[in-house]
Amino acid sequence: MADYDYDLFVIGAGSGGVRAARLTALDGKKVGVAEEYRVGGTCVIRGCVPKKFMVMASEVSHALEIAEGYGWSFDNAKFDWPTFLEAKDVEIARLSGIYAANLGKAGVELVHGRAVLKDAHTVEIVGKDRTITAKKILIATGGRPWKPEELPGIEHAITSEEAFHLPELPKRILIAGGGYIAVEFAGIFAGLGVETTLIYRGPNILRGFDDDVRAHLAGEIEKRGIKVILGCQHEKIEKTETCLINHLENGMKLETDVVMFATGRIPYVKDLGLESAGVELNEAGAIKVDPYSKTTADNIWALGDVTDRMNLTPVAIREAVAFHQTVYRDNPQHFDYEAVATAVFSQPPVGVVGLSEAEARRSCSNGVDVYVTRFRPMKYAFTGSDERVLMKLVVDADSQRVVGVHIVGPDSPEMIQLAAIAVKAGLTKAQWDATCAVHPTMAEELVTLKEKQSGATSAG
């Protein structure tokens, strides 16, 4: 029997890799983890956690506007970018330290450095003159931002990763993209007082979401002062002594201080040595895995964003738990990707679980019942604001199961977590209706929707 340095060696110390490593080490296995940057991965270091801090900071300006409608007054209220950055970085360092400490408490050895596969059982730590062998290997390297390298002037653009560390807050920014990251950062910068333009090549933002959600959010973010340009993209970026000039396909020229590309993320597999270990990629460039996260190499698994299945931090953690149960507990498990709730921390935010109306019409054999409401929430009605909330239920006409819930408005990420329990459990519209409302709340609309919408909803 071969003698290995580790029972399990994990490449990547993000949320998924850390969870798998800890669980396996707590089972008495010898486990090591290599991380080339900082422990915590995309979510903690350069993703959802620092982004949420930025969202919360930027929401204050809107809260101040609303507060004035309630009789409050504020003199000389101002935002200081360096102060925020310092506080954010201190908190991220604290969280990263907790992740590292938890690995240590579980008995996992943390190796700082870039790991490259030399063969199916051997890993080299680049620049450290160290080679490691492992009986089993888990790849959890996540993803990285993508931008069109062939675009003239792209070297002058940043991605979301650099946005967390801008030395100063720009006066003007153009964000290219229409997905989660693009609309979230558009809200962040606009809320911090930056003149913000969002440009997207498609017909509407948030491709893949319900059409009513897309249309509603596009209108609402414009109310927050964000200029949205659809069906258009860059021709080139020109740098001058004073600004960046964005030359667009429609002939427009926009001057900004910063250009940010949020045009998607790709699996981080570059120079990882996959071919040497017999690990294949799929057509999309992600690591090919079976339902149990096993790669094409017998002793190597992969999970999280590097597999490009459902790129959400809680999903990577659940995949890690399933991996541990399958490989080390003789209890084969795979994660169920159906009815996974997600939130977009745009301003206003979006909460979604289940099928869009279009998806439901394709999958429900005898059609769907659709319930939609748009209303001005109590908080805004008092101040005279014209911001509105969207709530939508999609119901299988045969079974009457609620198969999709879509919310755009304040606190929608909090509401959708609980709605996801009902959707996952397969509750019917009658059971939703039988649930007594909590009044006065926005959420009560979810259990008081009675009128079916006739015909198809409008396209976004």
Tell me which residues are annotated as active site.
439
Q: How far is CA 15 from the centre of its chain?
A: 13
Nearest 10 degrees: Cα torsion 251, 223, 202, 56: 120
Cβ 189 vs Cβ 213: under 8 Å: no
ω before 440 within 30° of 0 (cis)? yes
Q: CB pairs under 8 A, 24+ apart, for 159-168?
A: 159/260, 159/261, 159/262, 160/46, 160/47, 160/51, 160/185, 160/260, 160/262, 161/46, 162/260, 163/260, 164/46, 164/50, 164/51, 164/54, 164/88, 165/85, 166/81, 166/258, 168/81
Residue 401 in tokens: 């199961």
For 324, other C-beta atoms within 10 Å of its C-beta total 23
Q: How far apart are CA 168 and CA 148, in angstroms?
A: 25
Side chain identity, residue 409: G
Sign of CA dihedral 205, 209, 210, 212: negative
Indicate the DSSP class of residue 451: P
Residue 154 in tokens: 């792209």
With a CB cutoff of 8 Å and minimum separation 6, the contacts of 200 are: 176, 177, 178, 182, 228, 229, 230, 231, 232, 233
**DSSP E strand stretches across 251-330:** 253-256, 258-261, 265-267, 300-302
Which backbone phi and psi does 137 adopt, to 5 degrees? -130, 140
* End-to-end CA, the chain: 60
Nearest 10 degrees: Cα torsion 152, 183, 167, 15: -110
Sign of CA dihedral 412, 91, 169, 166: negative
Q: Where is 67: in which H helix or E strand?
A: helix 48-69
**DSSP E strand stretches across 18-149:** 31-35, 109-112, 115-119, 122-125, 130-139, 143-145
Strand order, beta sheet including 234-239 = 234-239, 244-248, 253-256
Cβ 457 vs Cβ 447: under 8 Å: no
